[in-house]
A and B are shown apart, each in its own frame.
Chain A
Amino acid sequence: MNLSNIIKDKKTGDPILHDLRELRLKYELPVGRVSRFFQGLEEGKILATRCRKCGARYFPPQSWCSECGSQEVEWFEPDPHGYLSTFTVINVKPKSFNTFKDYVVGIAELPKDELKVLAWVMEEPSKIRVGAKVRVGVVKREDGLSYGIFPED
């Protein structure tokens, strides 16, 4: 270690040791128990799960029931129609999203199945209103197949 590795903080001017050891993190996330959801996206469907014993419904989908403890859950396609509960526009983006334009994140409530879905709202922010009719559907994004919230007339 020598003085050449010591830089000045750009705001305070304090001496900072510029770390020579760099760590990059990229996680590998297990999705085997919800893989039906991703098949559903290929089929153009947003799928959720439902407990066969107590009827509790889950979105995001999960392979067990947190309410009654059962592992007997089934896949189903909720009615994709509902209304927008709330939304925001992400203006200051995190590092791993900094290649995207400002995006709108909202929560759609699907009243028929009493589920909520958090996703991007596929509409100009100025045209979005809380309480507006929406549907959830599959979206082809530049980073892959996903799902989103669409305005409905």
Chain B
Amino acid sequence: MERKVGIVGYGITKFGRRTDASLSELSWEAGAEAMRSAGIEGKEVKGLVVSNVGMWSSEELPAVVVGEALGVRNVPTLRVEAACASGSSAIHTAYDMIASGRADIVLALGVEKMHEVDTETAVELIGRAGNYMWEYEFFGLTFPGYYALHQTAYMKKYDSKEEDFALVSVKNHGYAQYNPYAQFRNPVTLEEVMKSKYVAWPVKLLDSSPITDGAAAVVLASSRVAKELTDTPVWITGLGVANGTSNLSRRRSFTSLEASVEAARTAYASANVDQSAPWKHIDVATVHDCFTVAEVMAYEDLNFAARGEGVKLLREGQTQVGGRIPVNLDGGLKAKGHPIGATGVAMAVEVSKQLLRKAEKGRQADIRNGRALTHNVGGTGHYAYVTIYEV
């Protein structure tokens, strides 16, 4: 019998070009805030899971750096990697440590320091995150390129236009202006998105999440300890994870991420959420909008909309506050920023704030069911994590 696990504290740094702080310093900012809000000290943490993709940053053993920074000593410590879903993998790993009974308090901390290299090098390193020899070495795919392959296929299959996807950017930038932790707090217009230059046709600069430094942390606890620490734990009640092939040429579809579909199905089943109309049970969601097409595909993969109707859901404002299911009220990866290994943890921080009605003015969802969802994709559907949180 698994034990119940909940979030009892969280912390997040300002996202952006954080050349003012090292990986250790960013981790301390988020980690210390998380522990303070949980009312614990480093010595009470009995497990430390750090998500960090690295390569662009100099620290080779970030988990050890984080432990030292936060005064967490002599406990099981590890770094986890699931590409852009690393943060969710940290939370799921910490969940397992507690649910299995091996620890009562575990810190999951995601950190990424991407501005220790120049932009060209960062583009190269992210582009290598597919199958190395057959896709990168031979053909120089970039990360926007991977999602562009999906957007082209989607546009053809469902007769949609670049403008349709641009609306994701307009929505997410619109909410980011109310999020003090976001990298870009400027609203953008449809015209501005459409006029931005192509990075990988049909994907434009303003369809793309930026290169970001940042950290986020959550303190997870067993139900017994959680109830001692806080009156308002945020429980993890549904978990779903799936993987996809390394080679994109081995995928069945380019208009959907099969791993997302599978992860959602498992998560909905474990949390008793209606598979066919999940929005009836879920008040707010964060979905993985590394590129605008990714958010549209997520609507359909998560069953927020029928196949081919993601664009319509967006256009009708159903993913804004007051709609069928508000999505990415923190600005999403697009405008809040995407510090790769920190993103999944930042999503957990965001839905905790939403469920506790602590989101900043202008971006708070109506909380009726007390249930939220995070959808975090690694690579181009190479990994997918869906997590359901409840208060």
Residues on A close to B: CB < 8 A? 9, 11-12, 14, 16, 19, 29, 31, 59-60, 85-98, 100, 103, 105-107, 115-120, 125, 130-131, 146
Chain B contact patch, size range = 35 or more
Q: Given the complex, which residues of A lie within 8 Å of B254, measured CB to CB?
A: 85-86, 107
Cβ-defined contact, B248 with A12, below 8 A = no
Q: Which residues of B contact A100 (CB under 8 A)?
A: 140
Question: A-contacting residues of B (Cβ < 8 Å)?
Answer: 17, 19-20, 58, 120-121, 123-124, 127, 131-135, 137-142, 144-145, 148-153, 156, 197-203, 247-251, 254
Q: Which residues of B contact A130 (CB under 8 A)?
A: 152-153, 156
Q: Can you list 14 A-B pairs, Cβ within 8 angstroms, ordered by A?
A: A9-B19, A12-B20, A60-B133, A85-B254, A86-B152, A93-B123, A95-B120, A96-B124, A103-B139, A105-B140, A106-B149, A118-B248, A119-B139, A130-B152
Q: Decide: B123 and A103 in contact? CB cutoff 8 A.
A: no
How many pairs, one residue from A and one from B, have CB atoms within 8 Å of each other in the complex?
110
* Beta-carbon nearest neighbor of A143 in chain B: B138
Residues in B whose Cβ lies below 8 Å from that of A95: 120-121, 123-124
Select one of A86, A87, A94 contacting B140, CB under 8 A: A94
- What chain B residues lie within 8 Å of A90 (beta carbons)? 140-142, 145, 200
| Closest residue of A by beta carbon distance from B140 | A97
In the complex, residue of chain A having the shortest beta-carbon distance to the beta carbon of B131: A60
- A95 CB → nearest B CB, Å: 4
Q: How far is the CA of A131 from the CA of B254 in the complex (A)?
A: 13
Q: Are B19 and A91 interface neighbours, CB within 8 A?
A: no
Report the Cα distance A16→B21, complex, angstroms.
10
Choose from A9, A91, A118 the contact partner of B199 (Cβ within 8 Å): A91
Contacting residues, chain A, for B200 (C-beta < 8 A): 88-92
Complex interface: chain B residues within 8 A of A96 (CB): 124, 140
- Across the interface, B141 reaches (CB within 8 A) one of A11, A16, A105, namely A105
Contact B149 A86 (CB under 8 A): yes
Q: How far is the CA of A100 from the CA of B250 in the complex (A)?
A: 27
Cross-chain contact of A88 among B58, B131, B134, B145 (Cβ < 8 A): B145
